[in-house]
Structure 1
Amino acid sequence: MKLFSIGSALLFALPALAAPTPAPPTWTDAATAEKEVEHFSMIGEYVAKAGKTALQANLLANGEFLVAIYQGGLPGDGWNQSNIDSRKMPAAHLKPLLAGYAKVERKSPTLGIPAPQNAVLKFPDGFTHVKDGIMSAGGQTTKDLGAFHMHLEFMLPLKPGDNPTSQKRGNSGIYIFNNYEIQILDSFAVDYRNPANNALKPESSNLQWCGAIYKTRLPDVNMSYPPLRWQTYDIDFKPPEFDGETKTKNARVTVRLNGVLIHDDFELETGTGNGAKKPQLAKGPVFFQNHANPVVFRNVWVTE
C-alpha cells in the first residue's frame, strides 16, 4: 500500500486557486488607440447630412456600439429635448447608418482659456501631482479656498472593456473641500433622463454619471464628449456660511460642462456621497479624485 503524509493529502485536497481576472485594457492617447482598437475611429458625434438629427456612438464591452440618436441636433447644440433613440448595434450595422451623417468634433468654448491676472491659483503652481504640464488624478490645490471660480480641463481614458454606465469607465471627480463631488466618468452617449431606455443595462445609478453632483442631482443635459478628448469644467462655488459652529447658509454651486450650463446655482444642503458624513467647511482644498483610473488634468486656475 502506498503511504503519503498528511501534508501531501491536504495539498491534493485543496482546490486550485483561480487566476486573478486581468484588468480591462486601457488607452490614454488617441494615436495609439487608433492603431490598436478596432473601430476606434467610429466613436464620436455625427450630424445628419440631410434633415435635423444627430448621433453619438460609443464603444461597448462586447465590441458593439451604444448609439444615441437625437432630434434637432446634438446635446447643447440643437437637440429639442425629445426622447433619445438609444440602440445597441455591431459595427457592421453602424457603418451603413453613418453614411447619412458627417462626423464632427466639437470643442468646448472655454478650452484653453488662460488664467486671468487676478487668479489666486495658476497651473502648474498651486497644485500637486503635476509633471510635464499634466496633473494626474490624486492631485489637489495646495491652499484652502473659500468662494471661487475654477476652470479645469480633463481627459478620460478609453476603457472599452467596461460599459459607459459602469463606475469603472474612467472614474474620477472634483471633490470640493472633501465634501461635494462633481462626477467625472466616460458616460458619452448615455441617456440620463430615462436610464431604462438605454440599449444596455445600467450598471450604476444615473446620479453617478458624468456631470452629476454625486448621488445628489442629475445634470440638466449630458454634455459628455467622447473619451480621449480634452473636456472642460467651469465651476462657481459658494461655501456654506457659519455663525460660530452653526451653519446659517448652505453651499451653492453652478457648473458648466464643455461650456454648457448643467447645474444653475444649486443648493447643497449636505455633502455628497461619503462627503455627507464629514463636517461642512467654510474653506478647504479641492481634490482631483484618484479612483484607480488614469484621468489627467491641465490648465487649472482659480479666481476668488
Structure 2
Amino acid sequence: IQSKRKFGSCQLHVEFATPSTVKGSSQGRGNSGVFLMANYEIQVLDSYGNKTYSDGQCAALYGRAVPLVNSCREPGEWQSYDIIFHRPIFKGGKVVKKATFTVFQNGVLVHDHVELVGGTGWKGKHAISDYEPHEDKLPIMLQDHGNPVGFRNIWIRELAD
C-alpha cells in the first residue's frame, strides 16, 4: 500500500496487529514494514517470544539499527508506532544531512534520534546501501511480505526540515 501524497520530514502514527494464531518462526511471523520516503523501513513483526536476528526484529530500522528494547505485545494485540522522522538532505548528489529517526513502540522509546548511514534493507540478495540521492518527498508505504498484518488509525503531519 502506498500513499497518494508524498512526504519528507514528518511525524507518523501507525497501529498494527500481527495474527493472533502463531504460525511460522523468525521472519515468518507477521512480517511487514512501514517505509518512509519509500526507502527507510521500520520493521513490523511478531517479536513476542520470537527469536530472530536483532536488526530484523519488530521496531528495527531494518538492517541498520536495533531497537533499545523489545516492547512487543502478544500476538493479535494492537500495537502502535509513533515516529519522528527527519529526511536526509542532498546537495550536488551527496548527502549533507543524514536522516534521523525517533521511534516509540507502544509508548516505549525504542530509537532515540538515530542517524541512518544509508537506506535500509536485507543484507543478503538485496544489500543495504549507502545513500542514493532522491526527491525531497516520496510516498509512505506499508509492506506486503506475504504475512497477514492489520493496520489502522494511521495519521501523519509534516515537519520542517
Give the TM-score normalised by structure 1: 0.47
**Unaligned 5+ runs, structure 2:** none
Amino acid at match of 1:210: C
Distance in 2, matches of 1:269 and 1:277, equals 6
- SS of residue paired to 1:167: helix
Cα pair 1:250 1:269 within 8 Å, conserved: yes
- SS of residue paired to 1:207: helix
Q: Which residue of 1 is the match for residue 64 of structure 2?
A: 216
Distance in 2, matches of 1:267 and 1:297, equals 27
Give the TM-score normalised by structure 2: 0.87
Q: Which residue of 2 is the match for residue 276 of structure 1?
A: 129
- The number of equivalent residue pairs is 152
Cα pair 1:172 1:184 within 8 Å, conserved: yes
1:186 corresponds to 2:40: no
Cα pair 2:94 2:133 within 8 Å, conserved: no
1:155 corresponds to 2:13: no
Distance in 2, matches of 1:246 and 1:161, equals 44
1:298 corresponds to 2:146: no
Tell me the CA shift for residue 243 of structure 1: 1.9
Tell me the CA shift for residue 280 of structure 1: 4.2
Deviation per CA, 1:82-111: give whole Å up to 9, x if none. xxxxxxxxxxxxxxxxxxxxxxxxxxxxxx
**Structure with more strand by fraction:** 2
Distance in 1, matches of 2:88 and 2:33, equals 20
Work out which of the residue numbers 30, 34, 50 in structure 2 matches 1:174.
34
Q: Which residue of 2 is the match for residue 256 of structure 1?
A: 104
Distance in 2, matches of 1:291 and 1:280, equals 26
Cα pair 1:271 1:280 within 8 Å, conserved: no
Amino acid at match of 1:296: G
Moved over 4 A (4+): none
Structure number with larger C-alpha Rg: 1
